[in-house]
Amino acid sequence: MSRWLAGLCAVSVLQSACLVAQPKPTPKTVSTKPVALNPQGTVLLDRAGKRLLLRARVCARDRVLEMLCCLKQTKEHESILTLDAKAAVVHAGLLALGARQGTPVRHYKRLKGGELVPDFKAPTGQRIEIYLQWKDKSGTPRRVRAQRWLRRATGRYFSVPLAKLPAGLVLPEEKPKLVFDEKNAELVWFGPMRAARRDAFLKLSSDRVFGKAVELLFAQSQPTQMTAHWVFAGSGFVTDMKTGKKVYRAENGNLVCVANFPTATLDIARASSSQETGLLYEAFMERIPPVDTDVLIELVPLIPKSDPTGKTSRAKPQQTRRPKP
């Protein structure tokens, strides 16, 4: 960890201790309750539960995404959740739990002459499991893995290789249209394909190659829950040209990302373009509560530990109650 980051984390924790009044424990009494790390009380360190808690709210549930959770008043237009906190405080809380910072994504590298060339390196770092807690319309507590709120983007084009159409086959003009791109030798479809449309296309020809292409398009276009996991990439620092001070880069809003950003605190350990045409994930709207619903985010570092037999196992988060407001 760089001395700048160490200093930032120390300052964050010290400021939190001063701004948020906490009863000083006696030598014989150690508090097991989550401790607020910021004055808003939106970032809480739960040492007993081996997790960091973030008090967030739903800001959107119907769009293509760049992140699961952004910082307040930054990127709510491309996120499901928003958090009123500093990204540096979240970073410090993860370090306090023993999480290891890795490296952010790299899209390019600079050659000796200054030229930038493509050179993708996926983000690295401690794996972080993320759980979401909220209450449904009936007031019943709910808790799920964050992946259940995300799915592969379906509002885009899908294509599979196909050298040529079967002899005499004419594709129907009904929209959305199944299109054969002769120039690129591929079959193309936009959006989710319904089973009824798939079956109708399969009846157009008995050609096995064409049938396999239709089946692949159908499979690719179905809403599929995200399977990627998050890592503690750790963002980084940039110098403010006006003040000359070091600034934590994730304060731009990139807290928990699903599109790879070099400024992300948490990022997915999988290649995902940050360009609009290449975004891979969208909100799984049917599974997400209404906008403005309060959601408690649990960040749980998966830290290996050794048992008495010498085998290595992963530390499991302690199941604890949702902290009271």
Question: In one letter, which amino acid is 164?
Answer: K
Q: Report the run of H or E that residue 150 belongs to, with start and end.
A: strand 150-152
CA 119 to chain centre: 22
Report d(CA 45, CA 57) in Å as an integer: 19
Alpha helices in 203-284 (DSSP H): 208-221
Q: Residue 259: count other Cβ atoms within 10 Å of its Cβ.
A: 24
**Cβ atoms of residues 123 and 102 within 8 Å:** yes
Helix-then-strand count for the chain, H and E: 4, 22
| 260 and 272 Cβ atoms separated by less than 8 Å | yes
Instruction: Look at residue 305 in the predicted model and tell me its pLDDT.
Output: 64
Contacts of 171 (CB under 8 A, 6+ apart): 165, 177, 178, 179, 180, 204
14: number of CA atoms within 13 Å, CB side? 6
Q: In this structure, what DSSP letter does residue 225 have?
A: B
Distance in angstroms (rounded) separating the CA atoms of residues 294 and 141: 12
Measure the CA–CA gap between 34 and 53, rounded to whole angstroms. 8
Instruction: Give dist(CA 52, CA 91) in Å, integer.
Output: 10
Q: What is the pLDDT of residue 120?
A: 77
Q: Coil, strand, or helix at residue 17?
A: helix
Domains of the chain, by residue range, sit at 3-153+226-314, 157-221
Question: According to the model, what pLDDT value does residue 272 have?
Answer: 62
**Residue 152 DSSP one-character state:** E
How many angstroms from the chain centroid is the CA of residue 175? 33
Under 8 Å between Cβ of 131 and 300: yes
Lookup: tokens for 268:
């997915």
CB proximity list for 243: less than 8 A, separation 6 or greater = none
Mean pLDDT by groups of 10 residues along the chain of 325 residues:
46 39 45 91 97 98 94 97 98 97 85 78 95 97 98 90 96 94 96 96 97 96 92 94 92 96 93 52 96 98 62 44 49
Give the span between the Cα atoms of 186 and 61, in whole angstroms.
Answer: 33
Tokens 């700048």 locate to 4
For residues 51 and 303, the answer to whether their CB atoms sit within 8 Å is no
SS3 212: helix
CA distance 242 to 74: 21
pLDDT number for residue 278: 44
Ramachandran sector of residue 41 (left: φ over 0; alpha: ψ -120 to 50; beta: rest): left
Q: Are strands 237-239 and 230-232 parallel, antiparallel or unpaired?
A: unpaired
